[in-house]
Amino acid sequence: MRILLLDKNHPLITEQLLAANFVLEEDFTSPYDEVCRKIENYDGVIIRSRIPLDQNFLEKAKNLKFIARVGAGMENIDIAVAEKLGIQLINSPEGNRDSVAEHVVGMLLILMNRLFIASNEVKNGIWLREENRGDELLGKTVGLIGYGNMGKATAKRLSGFGCKVIFHDILPNLSDEFATQVPLEELKKRAAVLSLHIPLTDSTNYLVDAQFISEMKNDFYFVNTARGKNVETSSLIKSLQSGKVKGACLDVLEYEKASFENLETENEDLQYLLNSEKVIVTPHIAGWTHQSKEKLAQVIVDKILAEFFN
């Protein structure tokens, strides 16, 4: 089988697939049109986010048997067309679930205990104690939307902090020792912390908007390590200004490029997020640890070998 690698990943992918007698070609720079012209020559493609695999691309991939995405989200692939053409889709959310879960907890602890603010103040000669009094996770009800790999790993860690973790998911019967499944309406009534762990689809685009936020009974902390466009930023900002959202931890932004390597647009809403003491922003790195880079790659290799290695 001939496989085209379109993004740089951990070298174990190349090493292990070559050892299994796959034929590999790396192309980390060619633009979309050039890749489209040659994709018919390959049986498989391994990607992260550099190039969209849309209907035009997939229809030119006459011999493509699989697409492997080193990561969780599949929104840069036209899934309906791929399935219609019989192309198998592979991803690796198992590889960075622990990284994402730790990032969620880390951001919450920094935000709720004003750690970044207080540290910067002391470094600048400012010693304020009462003004930096923190807020504990212990005893809070955390609501997760989405209970796949990321949601489960996050619940496991938050339960260790003494949180009551509840979640909503479109699939039934997912409750476990770390979290209890509830209807979305109940989650909105109970949650003091809200964290998203969902893909970007037509039904989750701007899921958290003005109406959603208004339906939350409690003032709450908000965390998004999923996709930027799961949230309507303008509504989030209004809620931060009103105090309905007590603080936000954002690893993803509505204004990111599709390939996630930088911001696509800058505006007043973005500037508010970057300058507010109630907001922590990181550059889409929740799943981006040294360990997850290797685990993501290994999961992809294992799945390819399990399916196609004889």
Q: Which of 284, 290, 294, 307 is catalytic?
A: 284
The residues near 295 (Cβ < 8 Å, ≥ 6 apart) are: 92, 94, 95, 96, 98
Q: Is 284 known to be catalytic?
A: yes
Strand, helix or coil for residue 224:
strand
Q: Which of 50, 114, 227, 232 is catalytic?
A: 227
CA 105 – CA 275 distance, rounded (Å): 22
Q: Give the start-end residues of each E strand in 105-183.
A: 141-145, 164-168, 180-181
Q: Is 133 known to be catalytic?
A: no
The residues near 229 (Cβ < 8 Å, ≥ 6 apart) are: 200, 205, 206, 254
**85 neighbors 63 (Cβ within 8 angstroms):** no
CA 195 – CA 144 distance, rounded (Å): 5
Q: Is 190 known to be catalytic?
A: no
Q: Please give the structure tokens belonging to residue 61.
A: 């991939």
CA 113 – CA 133 distance, rounded (Å): 7
**68 neighbors 48 (Cβ within 8 angstroms):** no
Strand, helix or coil for residue 295:
helix
**Alpha carbon of 76 to those of 48, 161, 258, 281: distances in Å?**
9, 36, 8, 23
183: enclosing H helix or E strand: none
Q: Which of 10, 103, 197, 256 is catalytic?
A: 256
Residues taking part in catalysis:
227, 256, 284
